[in-house]
Amino acid sequence: MNLQRFCQSCTLPIENPEDRGTEANGSKSDLYCKYCYQNGHFTDPDMTLDRMKKIAEEEMKKQQLPGNVIKQAMDMLPRLQRWKDGTGKQGQIL
């Protein structure tokens, strides 16, 4: 069974290795996409959950995704690795 992998910051599907962000040592991140995470750090370290929700929702609407898919993604965001502790600052793997 092949489970769908999603970025643990923005919910973007991570389907291919080139979609994955990078760790400080250059290896591919298992958790985050290339837009959210590069070289072992979040690309926008000051991102808030509320701002991420707004950005993700706008992108999904541009892609004309169904409303129920957008709602499901918005409901999932607070439970993702980056946001679930409430700080939004975690994610760096040493």
Token pair for 62: 């541009």
Centre a 10 Å sphere on the Cβ of residue 8 and count the other Cβ atoms it contains.
Answer: 24
Could you tell me the residue ranges of all domains in the chain? 17-79
- Look at residue 81 in the predicted model and tell me its pLDDT: 95
Q: How far is Cα 36 from Cα 29, in angstroms, rounded to an integer?
A: 11
Q: Are 74 and 50 in contact (CB under 8 A)?
A: no
1, pLDDT greater than 60? no
Please write the tens of the pLDDT for every residue from 32-74. 999 999 999 999 999 999 999 999 999 999 999 999 999 999 9
Q: How far is Cα 94 from Cα 24, in angstroms, rounded to an integer?
A: 8
Q: Are 7 and 14 in contact (CB under 8 A)?
A: yes
- Look at residue 92 in the predicted model and tell me its pLDDT: 43
Stretch (H or E) spanning 41: strand 41-42
Of 8, 59, 60, nearest in space to 33 by CA:
8
20, pLDDT greater than 90? yes
Please write the tens of the pLDDT for every residue from 44-54. 999 999 999 99
Q: Any idea how long the chain is?
A: 94
- Report the predicted TM-score, pTM, of the whole model to 2 decimal places: 0.82
Which comes out higher in pLDDT, residue 55 or 85? 55
